[in-house]
Amino acid sequence: MNVANPDVAYEVSINPATLEEIGRLPLTTQEEFAETFNKAREAQKKWAQTSYKERASYVLKMADYIRDNADELAGIISQDNGKLKVDALNTEIIPSIMSCTWYAKQAPKVLKDELLPPASLLFFNKWSKRVFQPIGVLGIISPWNYPFSIPFGELVMALMAGNAVVLKVAAQTPMVGEAIERVVKSSGLPEGLFTHVVGSGSKVLSAMLENGADKMFFTGSTYAGKQVMKSCAEYLVPCSLELGGNDAMVVLEDAPIERAVNGGMWAAYQNAGQSCGGVKRVYVHEKVYDEFVSMAIAKTKALRHGDNGHDADLGSVTTEKQFQQLEKELQMALDNGATIAAQSKPVGEQKGYFFPATLLTDVTSDMEFMQDEIFGPFMPIVKVSSEAEAIELANASQYGLTASVWSGSNKRGKEVAKKLHAGAVTINDHLYTHGLSNTEWGGPKESGIGRTHGALGLLEVSESKIVNWDILPNLSKNNAWWFPFDEASYSNMLKLTAYAKPRSAVEWIGLNLLVIPKVLKKMLSSWKVDQD
């Protein structure tokens, strides 16, 4: 543990499973913010001139460090966030290693220059190239539910695209931010390209914008995301927002029931239910409802929550505030008419914020409990009479992050997936796509703006520029639409309105024979004027 200086303000980390302090980091001062961004801008200018191969060499060293120190890093995440080490390993450490290798290899392909030939014969001499350039200094504000993998993936994308990064992890998980610092430092990355800052979200956001952040990346609640967007608008700074979810699981009558129960429970209860893309609403066809519920009850009762090493299935909720909120939301569900069908059993010491995995039945889609994002280990099950009803209810949400379809037929699953309003739809699985580097993450409606991960994620951390030139630079002295204007030039241009979409082949030939020569004559002629 760091020794506290009474003259310095700190961000304190409490292990939510044991309620013990595990570390503290000094808050970043306003003066330090200014220095951080000045260094970042200078470092980024040089970094932008490096090759993708050189950038990849640093990123791959980060992957080496994470791999070689996986157990230690998983332990830090577990202590800071409350999730089990196995959870940290599966959903944060392994995906982060894969992100390094994927972006190191794919960034040069995704961000390569693209030649754009003329879109019309009218512009036969005008050729273009689309080039991708870094944005500059990016600010990242990340959440406490996946404190390592969410910001780390964005960091790797940003670096591979040639940017510098200033990162703020959640106030509840500062030691993970310090761990990310060590990962980056292990690579020998040039000083100034990455800085981890510490402080409250609103103050850090203001400091980042005031000091010239070129784009903001935020992951968190929809309410907080809207505040970030308002703040960015004042500076005309673009932002990428990955926000809330109230994700639906659709179980059709031909679904593989045991797989559906196992997968649905994992996606609903994993990380103590603190996953924006986890299962939040389950719609089960009436023909398989009883079988699904019976199996889910037995397996939920078999789950263990607690701080008990490898002999537990669920860790703790991350904060006391969130634990209290879940108690209120469970009571809301019961008041709405829901029934607790099963809960997990406690194991080990229960000092911290342990909330049982809770299976809820007698649930209807119009309950208040079902309307908003519930960030805890709940699995509410709704009986539906048809595929159409399930789709309608799944889409009846202000969120659209992810969804899943469970069916014995991939063809049918894909057909239903097209009808669901979500950024990612999985068939016979749920939640894991955040760990796939090649698939973008994000959703419509109040689930956010923009995408992270994959090729689209790389485009989010880049700016496109068009470079245009004449393939025959000395061919003409003028363009057809340049000065001087006269009646003849107007008449010719008016006739050319039909060139891009002629009424017939005869008209197109006539334009080429009669009008284009006049246009070319103007382009090739000198514009002579009297000079005083």
Q: If we measure between CA atoms, which residue out of 54, 137, 155, 52 comes closest to residue 100? A: 155
Q: How buried is residue 525: exposed, middle or buried, by Cβ count under 10 Å (0-12/13-18/19+)?
A: exposed
Burial letters 467-493, b for 16+ CB under 10 A, else e:
eeeeeeeeebeeebeeeeeeeebeebe
User: Would you say the C-alpha torsion 366, 367, 372, 375 has a positive or negative sign?
Assistant: negative
Spatial contact of 166 and 137, defined as CB atoms under 8 Å apart = yes
Spatial contact of 261 and 301, defined as CB atoms under 8 Å apart = no
Helix or strand or coil: residue 405? strand
Cβ contacts of 302 within 8 Å, gap of 6 or more: 344
Spatial contact of 99 and 151, defined as CB atoms under 8 Å apart = no
Annotation says 242 is catalytic: yes
**What are the backbone dihedrals phi and psi of residue 299, each rounded to the nearest 5 degrees, phi first?**
-80, -35
Burial letters 123-147, b for 16+ CB under 10 A, else e:
eeebebeeebebbbbbbbbbbbbbb
Cβ contacts of 276 within 8 Å, gap of 6 or more: 145, 219, 242, 243, 244, 245, 373, 375, 401, 447
Q: How buried is residue 513: exposed, middle or buried, by Cβ count under 10 Å (0-12/13-18/19+)?
A: exposed
Give the separation between CA 301 and CA 298, rounded to whole angstroms.
Answer: 5
Among the listed residues 242, 373, 440, 446, the single catalytic one is 242
Cβ contacts of 7 within 8 Å, gap of 6 or more: none
Which residues have a catalytic role annotated? 242
